Structure 1
């Protein structure tokens, strides 16, 4: 069994790190404090072709797998940008997957090519305030109209909607109580984010403030028939194709955040001298950091295995979910220990670890909670009865 990156994969890691080195701590601090989208970083990633790493070659993408995307995103988050660096480009890697698989050739050219080039930005409209992770209970409704549909509803936690040109939107076209299964009757669209019909309200939040999260209110949005992805009523089914890649990417992005925090803590422990010796000489400092390394390393390889399974067409639900769980926990632990290693200065923005600590809470909550992951593993792996 060969468990190591190939030369091509190492080149991806090195190339992305080279780009990220153009953006220092001051850049990310400024974007965070000004709640400003990292446009310069986004443009440079687009210019170098990284926005299309998983996209088909016929639309200008690289046609690579989730494994390569995971390597790319780990490099981005571990190079100082944290979750702002990840979330600025994250949707390009998993969000359009339904279009790649179920879109027509015309739709792929019309929609994916501008995304790959960085000419358009997209957001993902799925979660709703009254449904949360119970996606089958969404209330956003698309009603048939001449030439298309009219949509009314609300979406919540829609990232990048402040800067997006397009929205991938999940709606109900058939009421839940009229469907044989609750997962039926939902339809997926990819359409213009028409701000005359869509109000976007920014949510003030704890971290990752360079990339906006929003409450979205849709009132009478007309969507053309040709902007529907696949068949009417099968939208939920189409979204399932992207769930495991999303979990893999979120988990490995978290590990990147944790590794950045850990490296900063280790360097501080070497440099900080108290009572005539570096604090890193004390086992009370060494051991927590060493322990954090072990958790991050083990979670990383669990996620790389999940990515390999996905790219090779094998079942990976348990591995993707477990890896996301472990990656998020390991990142939170590493960031917490990094702040503690810095002592009082860990609370100061100057040393960056407080920013990474705030961001490390995000993957423990989104896009799926730890509790649902454990329920999934209990049911699907251990054979226990469904609890919800």
Structure 2
């Protein structure tokens, strides 16, 4: 058993950290306030290979293991703890992986190189007005007509919908190709956001302001049959693999955000004085810091174990991933809350940016990539049968 990064991972972490410290951390506040991730940064990150960490080399990816992808996720969470950039990374990597693995070669070559370069956006459209976690009950339908599908339905809380519309790109849409079935009638179809009759309406979230969230409506949208990803009516199972990859990246992103916020909090209590002594010398604060630091390390070990389990192809990888997704966001939220309280009024202000991290982290508890109770359901089924 070896807990040390490989030499390649150490160099990757160092290079990515240096790049993000220079190019992303200084613009984090602007991303949150201006509600957009600058295209220049997205393209520069593309040159670093950030958007194609685990993709195949024939489409321009680095073809690195999942553990390396988590290394980058953690650094992105550290550099932009509002989590907007991290959300983009989770979508590109987690769902780009599904397209890379299961898409036909023409579709892969058409979509993925532009995603990797930072020219196009790629996401997933799963959640519907009638429910998010109950994927089997989606109502969006795709009907075969000649050499294309005709897709009709509505998706809600879809990340990156405006970016896909404006930059180019699209979403892997979960849709019923056999409406009589539940989960066995779902397929995944890549739908470019620029097609006719794809309409996008922005939703105003409380956090992750730099990336859009929207309602996406498909009104008899015609999509070529070749845009089917994987097997027809096997989309539910393909999507579960995508969620697995996305969830471990979520855990990594939250680790980085928690690390950045806790570091800021520790620096504050080491220097701030009250009642004639440093805040760090108050046992209540010191003990809380030690507990949070320990919980963060526990979450990190669990997250990297989940990435390792995916790389090894373990049968119970999804259970370990669910544990990481259950643990890391909650730990990050607790750290943000405690640091905010250590800092008092300053922690509550937008100058400290802790509140931006708090707002962003909450999204991964309420539902994004699977709500907390869904993670508990996965784990309980795994351990109880």
Q: TM-score, normalised by structure 2?
A: 0.94
* 2:174 is the alignment partner of 1:173: no
Q: Report the equivalent of 2:151.
A: 151
Corresponding residue of 1:379: 381
Q: Which runs of 5+ in 1 are unaligned?
A: 384-388
The aligned residue for residue 127 of structure 1 is 127
**Kindly tell me: are residues 195 and 33 of structure 1, through their superposed partners in 2, closer, same or farther at Cα, counting changes over 3 Å?**
farther
How far apart are the structure 2 equivalents of 1:197 and 1:350? 42
- Is the 1:125–1:167 contact (alpha carbons within 8 Å) kept by the matching residues of 2? yes
Match of 1:321 in 2: 322
Moved over 6 A (4+): none
Task: Work out the CA distance in 2 between the residues paired with 1:342 and 1:153.
Answer: 47
Q: Number of matched residues?
A: 379
Cα distance, 1:340 vs structure 2? 0.6
How far apart are residue 82 of structure 1 and its match? 3.8
2:54 is matched with 54
User: What secondary structure does 2:89 align onto?
Assistant: coil
Structure 2 contact 157–215 (Cα < 8 Å) conserved: yes
In structure 2, what is the Cα distance between the partners aligned to 1:57 and 1:270? 47
Is the Cα contact below 8 Å between 1:25 and 1:352 reproduced in 2? no
1:73-84 equivalence runs, <5 A? 73-84=73-84
Cα shift at 1:25: 5.5
Q: Any residues of structure 2 matched to 1:296-307 within 5 Å, and which?
A: 296-307=296-307
> Is 1:339–2:331 an aligned residue pair?
no
Q: Distance in 2 between matches of 1:24 and 1:198?
A: 32
SS at match of 1:62: coil
CA separation in 1, counterparts of 2:218 and 2:24? Answer: 38
8 Å contact from structure 1 (residues 38, 88) kept in 2:
no
**Conservation of the 8 A alpha-carbon contact between 1:76 and 1:82:** no
Bigger helix fraction: 2
Select between 143-152 and 302-311 the one with higher mean Cα deviation: 143-152
Partner of 1:356: 357
Partner of 1:28: 28
The 5 Å alignment of 1:250-269 reads: 250-269=250-269
Q: Which residue of 1 aligns with 2:235?
A: 235
Post-superposition CA distance 1:247-306 (Å, at most 9, x none): 111112111111111011011112212233321222222111111111110011011111
- Kindly indicate whether residue 16 of structure 2 is the aligned counterpart of residue 12 of structure 1: no
Answer whether contact 1:170 1:187 (CA < 8 A) is retained: yes
Instruction: Name which of structure 1's ranges 360-369 and 335-344 shifts more when overlaid on structure 2.
Output: 360-369
Q: Name the TM-score, length of structure 1 as normaliser.
A: 0.94
The 5-angstrom pairing of residues 52-201 of structure 1 reads: 52-164=52-164, 165=168, 166-175=170-179, 178-179=180-181, 182-194=182-194, 196-201=196-201
| Offset, 1:232 | 2.0
Please report the RMSD computed on the Cα atoms of aligned residues, expressed in angstroms.
Answer: 1.6
CA gap of 1:370–1:210, structure 2 versus 1, over 3 A, is: same
Higher relative contact order, chain-length normalized (CA < 8 Å, sep 6+) = 2
The question of whether the paired residues in 2 share the 8 Å contact of 1:16 and 1:72 is answered with: yes
Contact kept? 2:28, 2:79, Cα under 8 Å: no
**CA deviation profile, 1:62-110 (whole Å, cap 9, x unmatched):** 1111111011100111124441121132212110222222222222212
* Residues 203 and 214 in structure 2, CA contact (< 8 A), matched pair in contact too: yes
CA displacement at 1:345 relative to structure 2: 0.8
Q: Deviations over 1:146-176 (max 9, x none)?
A: 320111110111111101122211111111x
Task: Give distance in 1, aligned partners of 2:27 and 2:330.
Answer: 27
Looking at structure 1, the residues matched to 96 and 282 of structure 2 have their Cα atoms a distance apart, in angstroms, of 49
Partners of 1:147 and 1:359 lie apart in 2 by 42
